[in-house]
Amino acid sequence: MKIFETATAPNPRRVRIFLAEKGLLDKVEFVQVDLLKGENLTPEYAAKNPMKKVPVLELDDGTCVAETMAICRYFEEAYPDTPTLLGDTPLEKAQVEQWLRWLEFFFFMPTGMCFQHTSGYFKDRMNPIKEWGEECRTTVEKFCHFLNKHLADKEYICCDRYTAADINAFTTLQFGRVVNIRIKDDQTHLQAWYERMKARPTSKV
Ligand SMILES: N[C@@H](CCC(=O)N[C@@H](CS)C(=O)NCC(=O)O)C(=O)O
């Protein structure tokens, strides 16, 4: 199996941490795709993922699966003897899914938009609108406030244990640092949770 990814990009990082938590990193060959050089925009790459994004999982028979959480879902189902990260019971699965969607819409996506629209990183392939980037920053800051309150009496985001929701929130906060989004001094619960996540050996992959 291969995963086409970019080591510095946040979506592939979510997959790497997911695999590391399951002890499956060595099942996969990681192939680097240089986004700045546009290696994801070539016809060969588009044949793997018509959306031209990383990551992409390529199975040994050549079948490709794109989308971070779809790739994570594949490994969750294909390796049932590894620690589950997407919930065990119907209720847990629903709770993880609820959080994944909140995190995607109100945290990860606006962080990505803030990055794309204020850094100029992809200015060769999009029209950055600084005001929109700043609006997205505000959305992210509001979500940090919400998360801080949520974590006041919890060790993990949901299900009383480590799940993909923790991975996605953690990687989003680390990505946000690139555009100077930081946990505020008074967000002590969020900071304590962040330190717990950072202390996990898998946070380094
Ligand atoms: N919804 C996709 C988003 C993937 C995505 O946006 N990946 C970024 C890197 S983190 C990318 O490939 N950007 C390249 C580009 O937009 O040209 C997922 O969850 O995998």
**Closest Cα to atom 4, ligand 1: which residue?**
53
Return the pLDDT at 52: 98
| Same domain for 94 and 60 | no
In a domain, 185, yes or no: yes
CA angle 24, 55, 200 (to 5 degrees): 45
Return the pLDDT at 66: 98
| Same domain for 104 and 196 | yes
- Count the domains in the chain: 2
Residue to substitute in 11, 117, 168 for testing ligand 1 pocket (most ligand atoms within 8 angstroms of CB): 11
| Same domain for 65 and 11 | yes
In a domain, 84, yes or no: no
CA angle 65, 67, 69 (to 5 degrees): 105
Q: In what order do the strands lie in the sheet with 64-66?
A: 29-32, 2-5, 56-58, 64-66
Residue to substitute in 31, 54, 107 for testing ligand 1 pocket (most ligand atoms within 8 angstroms of CB): 54
Domain that holds residue 13: 2-78
Q: Quickly count: other Cβ atoms within 10 Å of residue 30's Cβ.
A: 16
In a domain, 83, yes or no: no
**Residues with Cβ within 8 Å of residue 199, at least 6 apart in sequence:** none
| Same domain for 137 and 174 | yes
Return the pLDDT at 180: 96
| Same domain for 183 and 131 | yes
Mean pLDDT of the chain: 97
In a domain, 147, yes or no: yes
pLDDT tier for residue 32 given thresholds of 50, 70 and 90:
very high
Return the pLDDT at 54: 98
Whether ligand 1 lies within 6 angstroms of the CB of 171 is answered as: no
pLDDT one-digit tens code per residue, 129-182: 999 999 999 999 999 999 999 999 999 999 999 999 999 999 999 999 999 999
CATH of the domain at 24: 3.40.30.10
β-pairing, 2-5 with 56-58? antiparallel
**Rounded to a whole number, what is the distance in angstroms from the first to the last CA of the chain?**
18
Q: Give pTM, 2 decimals.
A: 0.97
pLDDT one-digit tens code per residue, 56-95: 999 999 999 999 999 999 999 999 999 999 999 999 999 9
